[in-house]
Amino acid sequence: MKAYFINRYGKSDVLTSGDRPEPVLRDDDVLVQIHAAGVNPVDNKIRDGEFKLLLPYKMPLILGCDMAGVVVRVGARVRRFKVGDEVYARPDDDRIGTFAEFIAITEDSLALKPANLTMEEAASMPLVALTAWQTLVEKGQLKKGQKVLIHAGSGGVGTIAIQLARHIGATVATTASAANADMLKSLGADIVIDYRKDDFSAKLKDYDLVLDTQGGDTLKKSLSVLKPGGKLIGIAGPPDPDFARQRGLNGFLRLVMGLLSYGVRKAARRSGASYSFHFMSASGQQLGEITRLIEAGHIRPVVDRVFPFEQTRQALDYVETGRAKGKVVIKVR
């Protein structure tokens, strides 16, 4: 099968295309012929080697963490899917590889594709929608009537998180450029703060939850908008000791992550709030919940550009510019 893969970590030029063996199917796997694959900032970070301590991949490594396609074969223990089903998924961390013609995915990580989406639209959803669900619903426990700040609202995670928070019934603030304000308000944002002109920490207060996608100074300043008992959830880091324990990392890495996040965790405690890091995980069950919201019209995909499979490297380069509104997708088939 044709695929895009790396033989070593590095920048854009390490990505190569060529033939790779078709995936081996386990008893609880579903073999999917990929029609479209979503592109995410995490793909570039994996390529660059930023996660090599957390995710020790073997080379050669096929990149890609989002996909939609059609089931072509099922393992002996698979019961929920059959040949011909249209499906979508975010594969498990240790079995990524959606920039390819086929992928084997655990049944538990897979869901039926929303009937009202094209393959390209469906491929744009799994990673960002699961990130939004796990941070806002599962970890953040966001409730109707609460207030949430979602940073970088025009990004892949932001565009879906705004819609989900709005559906829950929260007041939604977001940061973005003024050029994207109308789009974000159409998705459900109540307040759009132009990050180029205004300081969000001077304009917002008494928020229940902040979803930070930026890290750095934005993360630290976000604590000032939270009410006592509020939650700051970061997906750009720094990782915390709880994350290290959940991943089963060794004592040294737990210590390192504790030190990396010590400052923000201490500052959060001083302000009566909490900080936690989240690295999303695959879940077919949660994706099924998201499918229902999509089919009911509560959440819609936001796709910036669709690249042909032959331009996979260009798609990754475009995502790396940070200018994409919503998601970038590769049309594989």
Per-residue pLDDT of the chain (333 residues; tens, 9 = 90+): 999 999 999 999 999 999 999 999 999 999 999 999 999 999 999 999 998 888 889 999 999 999 999 999 999 999 999 999 999 999 999 999 999 999 999 999 999 999 999 999 999 999 999 999 999 999 999 999 999 999 999 999 999 999 999 999 999 999 999 999 999 999 999 999 999 999 999 999 999 999 999 999 999 999 999 999 999 999 998 988 888 888 888 888 888 888 989 999 999 999 999 999 999 999 999 999 999 999 999 999 999 999 999 999 999 999 999 999 999 999 999
The pLDDT of residue 317 is 97
Close Cβ partners of 63 (under 8 Å, ≥ 6 residues apart): 4, 5, 6, 15, 43, 46, 47, 96, 97, 98, 99, 316
132, 135, 150, 143: which is closest to 225 by C-alpha? 150
The pLDDT of residue 249 is 81
Q: CA-to-CA distance for 215 and 229, rounded, in angstroms?
A: 21
DSSP 298-325: S----EEEEEEGGGHHHHHHHHHTT--S
The pLDDT of residue 260 is 86
* Identical fold between 2-125+301-331 and 127-277: no
CB 301 within 8 A of CB 163: no
Q: Per DSSP, what are the bridge partners of residue 183?
A: none
Reported residue count of the chain is: 333
* Domain layout of the chain by residue ranges: 2-125+301-331, 127-277
Q: CA-to-CA distance for 12 and 226, rounded, in angstroms?
A: 39
The pLDDT of residue 268 is 92
The pLDDT of residue 6 is 98
Note the Cα 126 to chain centre separation in Å.
7
Q: CA-to-CA distance for 288 and 89, rounded, in angstroms?
A: 10
The pLDDT of residue 172 is 98
| DSSP reduced 3-state for 52 | coil
| DSSP reduced 3-state for 216 | helix
Is CATH 3.10.20.30 correct for 2-125+301-331? no
DSSP 176-192: E-GGGHHHHHHHT-SEE
145, 146, 134, 152: which is closest to 195 by C-alpha? 152
CATH architecture under which domain 127-277 falls: 3-Layer(aba) Sandwich (3.40)
Q: CA-to-CA distance for 198 and 200, rounded, in angstroms?
A: 6
Q: Per DSSP, what are the bridge partners of residue 86?
A: 70
CA end-to-end span of the chain = 12
Q: CA-to-CA distance for 292 and 115, rounded, in angstroms?
A: 10
The pLDDT of residue 243 is 86
Note the Cα 12 to chain centre separation in Å.
21
